[in-house]
Amino acid sequence: MSDRKKAYQQALMGGRMGFGARPALAVIDFQKKYTRCEDYVARAEVDQVNRLIALARRTGMKVVFMNQMSTCRGTEDQLDDQIHYELQDTVIYKQWPSIFFGTGLIQELIKNKIDTMILCGYSASGSIYASAMYSTFYGMKTIVAKDTVWDPDDKKGKLFLWNIEQKFADVMYTHEILEHYESVALPKTENAVEGGMLFETGK
């Protein structure tokens, strides 16, 4: 065991938070401009997040699609065509990396008594890190599905995921999340988000 890992353990950091009873799934920045970059195509990550979206459809888990807002919105700002999105779903556009800052999302989560956030998307060093930090600040159990997350710099992304796991969230694979939530009954939640700074239904 490395000295750094020992130091974190002694500080009681890096332990598991566990699963909550009322989860919500946040699909973050799965927009074409990020999933189809010149250097990287996020096909594997899209496939894994679709497995989690399917879980949410089967169990009644709340799903929130969070997109980064641009000053000039074009086709590259749309959700990737391979994402299993439905017309009744709501997309919230955010200005900042955190999905909570300035969006009104936390009020909707509180209304539905959500106690767990499952975070997926782009990027480990940006929106995932900021959203995991804010989620923890709001007292949520926080899970990052590591095989749905990517970063422009793979080495830096892995470092940020490690840091997230030590401080803010459980970082685990999609199949681990599926195995747990497919074995328990989830309460129903409302799947429309209201009060966001800027939101819309439909692509």
The pairing of strands 90-94 and 199-201 is antiparallel
Report the CATH superfamily, name and number, of domain 20-201.
Answer: Isochorismatase-like (3.40.50.850)
Quote the mean pLDDT of the chain. Answer: 87
**How many residues would you count in the chain?**
203
Q: pLDDT of 74-87, one tens digit each? A: 788 889 999 999 98
The C-alpha atoms of residue 177 and residue 146 are separated, in whole angstroms, by: 11
- Taking 70 as the pLDDT cut, the residues of the chain under it are 1-14, 71-73, 190-203
pLDDT at 194: 41
The C-alpha atoms of residue 124 and residue 130 are separated, in whole angstroms, by: 9
Question: Which sequence spans correspond to the domains of the chain?
Answer: 20-201
Q: pLDDT of 131-167, one tens digit each? A: 999 999 999 999 999 999 999 999 999 999 999 999 9
DSSP symbol at 203: -
Q: How far is CA 160 from CA 44, 133, 140, 151, in A?
A: 20, 12, 19, 10
pLDDT at 6: 59
| Residues 109, 26 contacting (CB under 8 angstroms) | no
pLDDT at 76: 86
